[in-house]
Amino acid sequence: MTAEINKGPLLGMRHVQTLLIFFNITCLYIGRLNVGVSVVAMTNAESTNPDFPEYDWTLTQKSYILSSFFWGYIITQFLGGYLCKRYGVKSVMLWGSLASGIFSALTPLFIGFGGWQAYCGIRVLMGCAQGLIFPCIHQHLARWSPPAERNRLGALSHTGIECGNVCAMFFSGMIAKSAIGWPGISYVSAGLAFAWCAFWFVFAADNAAESRYITQEELHYIESSLTHNENYHKTVIPVPWMAIWTSAPFFALMVARCCETWGLSTLQAQIPTYMNGVLDMDMKSNAFFSALPFLAMWIMSYVYLITADALLAGNRLSLTALRKTFNSLAFWIPCATLIGIGFLDQDQKNLAIASMTISVGFNSGATIGSSLNTIDLSPNHASILMGIVNTAANVVPIVTPLVVGVIVHEDKNRAEWQIVFIIAAVIFFIGNCVFLFYGTAVSQPWDAEDYLTVMVPELAISPCIHEAGKGIDGPSEKIDSIYASSKHRNYL
C-alpha cells in the first residue's frame, strides 16, 4: 500500500504568486517598451494627436532615447540579486516597482523642460528601478515552486513578457491618438504599476512559510518538495563565486541570453520605426501591426508551455533536451525569417508582417528554452545568476539601437534595414550553437547549501534575524553559530 502524496490544493498561494509575477512583468514591460511608440508619436504629431508638442529629434537622438533605459538597467542587476537575498524578495520588488511607476509618471514633465536629454535621464532612472526586479523574480520562483511544477509556474509567470509587449505596442498607439495624447502613455503605465504594488503588498510573501493565506496542506507540499535544511529560510547561503564563474553551463546560458536579447531587442525597439519608414504605415496601422508579432508571441508562449508539460509528463524528453529543443526553435526559425525580412519593401508589406510575426512568435520558446535555466542550475543562487546574466544580456539593448543608428541613416532605406536584420540573424544562430554544446538543466554541485561550508566553514554564518513581534525599527538578534550541514548532497 503506497502513501498518498499530498500536493495541496489544485489552485493555491503558489499560483497567486505566479499571477502576481505575471502582472508585474506585464507592467514592467509596458513601461519599458512603450518608448518605441512614444518616440514615433512625439516626432510625428500629425499621425497621432496634433494638440501635443512635437519634437524634431534626429535618428541619433532617438537611438539614445531607445537605449537609455538599459544604461540604468544593467547597473542594478547585481544589487537586486544581493538585496533580495539579504532583505527578502517582497520588499525589493515593491520598492523597485513603485519607483518605476513614479519615474513613468514624471516622464512628460521631464521632457517638457529638458527635451530628449531629460527623456534619457528619466529612462535611466526607470532602468535602475526595474533592474532590481528580475533577479528577485527568479529567486521568488525558486522559493515558491515545487520542482515538479517549476517549469510550468516559471513559464506561466514569464508570459507576462509577451503580454507586456503586446500591450506596449498596441495600446500605446491607441493612447497616443486619444485625447490624452503621448503623455497619456506614461500616465497609464504609472497607474498600472501603482495598482500592482497594492496587490503585491497584500498577497506576496518571501516564501511559503511566511504567507498569511496559505493552507497547511500546500505549505507542507511546497516545503517538503524543496531539499533544504530546517533553518533554510533564516540562513544566507554563501555564494560560490569561483565555481559560478568557471562553470561552462552557466557561461553557455549567458551567451545564449545575450544573443537572444540582441535579436529580440532589435525587433522590439525598431518595429515601429521600420513600419513607419520602409512599409509606410500610419500610426494607427503601425500600432496594430507592431503589436501583431508580439500577440503571436504571447499565444505561442502557451503553445510552448502546453507542449512542454506534455513532453515532460510523458517522460518523452529530459528537461535538458526540452530546453535545447525549444531554444533551437526560438533562435533558428527567427534566424531564417529575419534574413528574409531584410529583402522586403512596402510593396511586400503583407509578407514582411507575416515574416516578423513568425519570427517573434517562435522566439517566445526562449523563455522555456533558456531564460528559466538559472533556476535549473542553482535554485539557491537563482537571483545571483539572474543578476549576472541580466547584466550581460542587457548591455546588448544599449548597443543595438546605437548600431541601428550607425547603419540606418534614412528610415525608408530598405538596404540599410537589410543589414540590421542579417546581423541579428547571425547572432541568433551562433548563440544557440553555444547553448547546444555546453548548456544543461542539471543542478550544479555548487548549488549545495553546504558547498562552501565543507571547504570554508567560517563563511556559513546565519544572518541577522528580527525578533518575532518587533516593529520595523525593533532590535535584531544575530545568530553567531556556524551552520554545518549534517548531510552532504551527492551529485555524482
The domain that holds 339 is classified in CATH as 1.20.1250.20
Buried b (16+ CB within 10 A) or exposed e, 9-26: eeebbbbbbbbbbbbbbb
Q: Find the helix packing angle between 283-313 and 349-363, rounded to 10°.
A: 40
Residue 382 and residue 266 share a domain: yes
Helices (H) and strands (E) in the chain, counts: 20, 2
Q: Stretch 260-288: mean pLDDT, rounded?
A: 71
Element at 351 (helix H, strand E): helix 349-363
pLDDT at residue 483 in the model: 32
Q: Does pLDDT of 272 surpass 70?
A: no
Handedness of CA 220, 221, 223, 224 (dihedral sign): positive
Q: State the Cα–Cα distance between residues 384 and 35, nearest whole angstrom.
A: 29
The partner residues of 477 in beta bridges, in order of sequence, read 465
Residue 172 and residue 28 share a domain: yes
Residue 42 and residue 171 share a domain: yes
Q: State the Cα–Cα distance between residues 224 and 222, nearest whole angstrom.
A: 6
Residue 325 and residue 441 share a domain: yes
> What would the DSSP string read from start to end of 281-319?
--HHHHHHHHHHHHHHHHHHHHHHHHHHHHHHHTTSS-H
Task: Cell 546565519: give the residue.
Answer: 462
Total length of the chain: 492
- For residue 230, what pLDDT band results from cuts at 50, 70 and 90? low
SS3 348: helix
Confirm whether 61 is domain-assigned: yes
277 to 271, 412, 418: CA distances (angstroms): 10, 5, 13
* Number of domains comprising the chain: 2
Residue 343 and residue 310 share a domain: yes
Largest CA distance in the chain: 77
Residue 363 grid coordinates:
522566439
Residue 76 grid coordinates:
542594478
pLDDT at residue 166 in the model: 81
- 128 touches 76 (CB < 8 A): yes
Q: Three-state SS string across 155-189, please?
A: HHHHHHHHHHHHHHHHHHHHHHHCCCHHHHHHHHH
- 434 touches 250 (CB < 8 A): no
pLDDT at residue 282 in the model: 59
Confirm whether 318 is domain-assigned: yes
Q: Does pLDDT of 470 surpass 50?
A: no
pLDDT at residue 43 in the model: 84
| Cα angle 14-16-20, degrees, rounded to a multiple of 5 | 120
- For residue 478, what pLDDT band results from cuts at 50, 70 and 90? very low
Q: Does pLDDT of 3 surpass 70?
A: no
Confirm whether 409 is domain-assigned: yes
Element at 464 (helix H, strand E): strand 464-466
Is pLDDT larger for residue 193 or for residue 491? 193
Last residue of a domain, one of 226, 259, 285: 226
Tell me the per-residue pLDDT of 481-491, one tens digit each, with 9 for 90 and over.
Answer: 323 333 333 33
pLDDT at residue 482 in the model: 28
Confirm whether 481 is domain-assigned: no
Task: Cell 563563511: give the residue.
Answer: 459
Tell me the per-residue pLDDT of 429-455, one tens digit each, with 9 for 90 and over.
Answer: 999 999 999 999 998 999 877 777 655
In sequence order, which residues have a C-beta less than 8 Å from that of residue 87 and are 6 or more positions away? none
Last residue of a domain, one of 412, 429, 449: 449
Residue 176 and residue 247 share a domain: no
Residue 200 grid coordinates:
503585491
Residue 18 and residue 141 share a domain: yes
Residue 293 and residue 202 share a domain: no
Residue 78 and residue 203 share a domain: yes
Q: State the Cα–Cα distance between residues 321 and 327, nearest whole angstrom.
A: 10
> What letter does residue 482 receive in the DSSP assignment?
B
Mean per-residue pLDDT over the chain, rounded: 81
Q: Which domain holds residue 211?
A: 13-226
Residue 146 and residue 17 share a domain: yes
Q: Does pLDDT of 169 surpass 90?
A: no
Last residue of a domain, one of 170, 192, 226: 226
Residue 115 and residue 156 share a domain: yes
Confirm whether 101 is domain-assigned: yes
Confirm whether 468 is domain-assigned: no
Greatest mean pLDDT among 90-94, 144-148, 355-359 lies in 90-94
Residue 118 and residue 57 share a domain: yes
Query: Does the pTM of the predicted model rise above 0.85?
Result: no
Q: Where are the alpha helices (DSSP H) in 44-149?
A: 59-73, 77-87, 89-131, 133-144
Q: State the Cα–Cα distance between residues 17 and 203, nearest whole angstrom.
A: 8
Confirm whether 2 is domain-assigned: no
Confirm whether 218 is domain-assigned: yes
Q: Does pLDDT of 392 surpass 70?
A: yes
